[in-house]
Structure formats: C-alpha cells, structure tokens
C-alpha cells in the first residue's frame, strides 16, 4: 500500500461526527420497519412463539421503560416527548462536538439517539410505543421491548464500557508519569 492510500484510509476512520448520524438513521429505520411488521402481523397481547425463550408479542406501552407510568392518565405522553426530545438534543450536540478519535463514544451516542428518536416518533404519532420482543425464562418475563430499546441499551452499555476503558487509560498514564518523575 502506498503512502497516499494509507493516508486516505486514515482520513475516513475514525468517522466524522455526521457519519454517526447515519448510524442513528439506520436504527430509526430498522426500528420503524420492525414495528410496522409487528403491528401488521401480530394481534395485540397475543404471543407468537419463536423459540422456547422468545415470543413476538405486540404490546402498546404508554409509559416508559418497564411500563413505568403506563397508567398515569395520558400526561406522561407529552412528558416523555419533551424528555426524549431534550435528551436527544443534548446527545446530538455532544456527538457533533466529539473529537474524531473517540469513536466508541460516537457509536454509543449514535445508538442512543437512534433509539430515543425511534420511540419518540411512536409517542408523537401513536401516543404509545410499539413493543413486540418478549424474552422469558420459565416464569420470568422481561418486559416486551423493540429495536429502539435494544439500541439504547447497547449504546448505554458501550458508553459505560468506554468510560471504564478511558478511566483505566488515564490511571495507567498517570502511573507512567509518576514513574518518570
């Protein structure tokens, strides 16, 4: 590989912040498509077994995670719309200001933004979030969730992992500096 080819490869990665927005858009589109398929092919609250530990079960969540505030009377819809909009905007600003070398943080934020916007679209259009993935073990059922929820969860886990890795790097660097002095 020539020097010019190596330089071109390096300039593409790590990605520019706007490239992470493509990840967010992909999450939003995948979330929307799977929710459409679930809404068209599943009956509300009627499980369809896929595996012994997985059902596809269409559910309408008027609340937040784990159906928190699900039966709060309707005000929660707009509360969660405002909350998700505000958090998404803050994360977007963070993403756009992120140094290029912090690609793990960029990926994490892109997943969280995509998931938050995916569920935000449901809340605005429908008044509830469409959930359909139902994982369970024996009598234990995890609350139904969707692609957006999965993206948010993976994004948060990656963000926490990245923060642990960064703290470890800083600690190692500090030890090296102390050893040099």
**DSSP character string of 55-76:** EEEEEEESSSGGGTTTTS-SHH
Structure tokens at 167: 């703290």
Residue in 149, 162, 172, 178 annotated catalytic: 149
CA distance 129 to 62: 6
**131 catalytic residue (yes or no):** yes
CA distance 136 to 59: 15
Residue in 131, 134, 139, 162 annotated catalytic: 131
* 36 CB-near residues (< 8 Å, 6+ apart): none
Task: State which H helix or E strand residue 99 sits in.
Answer: none
**149 catalytic residue (yes or no):** yes
Active site residues: 131, 149
């Amino acid at each position: 590989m020539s020097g010019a080819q190596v330089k071109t490869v390096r300039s593409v990665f790590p990605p520019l912040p706007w490239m992470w927005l493509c990840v967010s858009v992909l999450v939003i589109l995948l979330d929307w498509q799977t929710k459409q398929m679930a809404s068209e092919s599943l009956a509300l609250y009627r499980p369809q077994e896929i595996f012994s530990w997985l059902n596809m079960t269409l559910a309408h969540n008027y609340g937040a995670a784990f159906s928190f505030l699900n039966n709060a009377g309707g005000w929660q819809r707009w509360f969660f719309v405002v909350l998700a909009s505000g958090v998404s905007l803050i994360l977007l600003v963070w993403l756009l200001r992120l140094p290029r070398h912090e690609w793990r943080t960029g990926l994490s934020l892109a997943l969280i933004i995509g998931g938050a916007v995916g569920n935000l679209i449901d809340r605005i259009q429908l008044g509830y979030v469409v959930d359909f993935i139902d994982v369970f073990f024996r009598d234990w059922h995890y609350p139904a969730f969707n692609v957006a929820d999965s993206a948010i969860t993976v994004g948060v886990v990656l963000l926490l992992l990245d923060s642990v890795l960064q703290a470890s790097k800083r600690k190692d660097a500090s030890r090296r500096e102390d050893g040099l002095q």
